[in-house]
Amino acid sequence: MGERKTVRTAVLVGALALAAVTGTTSAVAAPAAAAPAAVAVKDPTPGPVTTPDPSALTSLAYETVAYGQQRRQDMDVWWNADGEQRPGIFLIHGGWWSAGDKRQMTTIARGYADLGYTVFNLNYRLSGQAAWPAQRTDVLAAIQLARKHAERWGFDMKNFVVVGFSAGGHLAASVGTYGDGMNGLKGVVGLSPIVSPLRAYTDGAVSTDPYKRRLRAAAIKLAGGCEPKGRCSRVWASMEVAWHASRHDAPMLTVHSDDEFVPPAQSQLLKQMLGQVGVPVTVITAPGTAHSAPLYRLPGIAEQVHQWIADRLGGQL
Q: What is the dihedral of CA 278, 281, 282, 285, to 10 degrees?
A: -140
What pLDDT score does 153 carry?
97
What pLDDT score does 59 carry?
75
Q: Is 5 exposed, middle or buried (0-12, 13-18, 19+ CB in 10 A)?
A: exposed
Domains of the chain, start order: 55-312 (3.40.50.1820)
What pLDDT score does 193 carry?
98
Count of H-run helices and E-run strands, the chain: 10, 9
DSSP helix/strand/coil, 185? strand
Is the omega angle on the peptide bond into residue 294 within 30 degrees of 0, that is, cis?
no
- Contact between 139 and 123 (Cβ < 8 Å): no
- Residues in the chain, pLDDT under 70: 1-58, 315-317
What pLDDT score does 45 carry?
42
| Cα 73 from Cα 123, distance rounded (Å) | 6
- Contact between 118 and 78 (Cβ < 8 Å): yes
What pLDDT score does 317 carry?
57
pLDDT tens digit string along 186-230? 999 999 999 999 999 999 999 999 999 999 999 999 999 999 999
